[in-house]
């Protein structure tokens, strides 16, 4: 078997593992390597080669959504209320993709953070710089990333997710505005 064929096989297996992992996370099921291998119909060694540890898997699942989040934050700069658009949009995206929240909570501000997380933090820093004195002093991209994760988590704890999310978002946005 040629190297090119093996490489295509590995890429196809990796894509299948990611697809299965995303489905399992959405369904609230296990993403343990042995469970993924069984569901993706590949060997457990194949899963470990593609994703040596759970954080590698979560990072791969989150990357496209993190890129989407960074683009959303950058586009919010042109909105009438950039802070609200960015925070509301970010929390909505986190509500749909828990892997993004996990990555931001664990990696925002870390020196070895994945590039996609660094890009989100940079976009948030750009938003804060754009807002200048319209945002509470001392707010950084990392602080905003963590706040968005906290709002998402608080909304998850409520029985009425929609109402709780709106309330938590309102409190967060009002608190971020400069005094």
Q: What is the CATH number of the domain that holds 65?
A: 1.10.357
DSSP 137: T
90 and 34 together in one domain: no
* Domains identified in the chain, total number: 2
78 and 132 together in one domain: yes
Reported confidence tier of residue 29, pLDDT bands at 50, 70, 90: confident
- pLDDT tens for residues 169-179? 888 888 877 64
70 and 146 together in one domain: yes
Partners of residue 135 on adjacent β-strands? 177
Domain range for residue 13?
3-50
Q: Name the one residue in this structure whose structure tokens are 């946005």.
A: 173
Reported confidence tier of residue 94, pLDDT bands at 50, 70, 90: confident
97 and 132 together in one domain: yes
Which ranges of the chain would DSSP assign to H, the alpha helix?
3-26, 33-40, 44-50, 54-76, 82-96, 98-107, 115-131, 141-157, 161-176
128 and 63 together in one domain: yes
Least confident of 29-38, 95-104, 112-121: 95-104
65 and 40 together in one domain: no
pLDDT attached to residue 33: 93
- pLDDT tens for residues 58-83? 888 888 999 999 999 999 988 998 88
Average of per-residue pLDDT across 24-53 = 90
26 and 58 together in one domain: no
pLDDT attached to residue 179: 46
Contacts of 52 (CB under 8 A, 6+ apart): none
Asked whether the beta carbons of 139 and 176 are under 8 A apart, the reply is: yes
43 and 80 together in one domain: no
- Which pTM does this prediction carry? 0.78
């Amino acid at each position: 078997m040629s190297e090119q064929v093996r490489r295509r096989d590995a890429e196809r297996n990796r894509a299948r593992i990611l697809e299965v992992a995303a489905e399992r996370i959405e369904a609230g099921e296990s993403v343990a390597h042995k469970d993924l291998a069984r569901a993706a119909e590949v060997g457990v060694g194949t899963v470990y080669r593609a994703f040596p540890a759970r954080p590698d898997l979560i990072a791969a699942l989150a990357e496209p959504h993190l890129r989407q989040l960074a683009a959303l934050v950058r586009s919010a700069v042109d909105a009438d209320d950039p802070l609200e658009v960015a925070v509301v949009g970010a929390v909505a995206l986190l509500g749909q993709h828990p892997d993004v929240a996990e990555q931001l909570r664990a990696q925002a501000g870390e020196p070895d953070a994945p590039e996609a997380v660094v890009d989100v933090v940079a976009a948030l820093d750009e938003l804060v710089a754009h807002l200048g004195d319209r945002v509470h002093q001392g707010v950084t991209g990392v602080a905003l990333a963590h706040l968005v994760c906290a709002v998402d988590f608080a909304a998850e704890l409520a029985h009425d997710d929609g109402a709780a999310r709106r309330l938590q978002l309102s409190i967060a946005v009002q608190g971020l505005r400069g005094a």
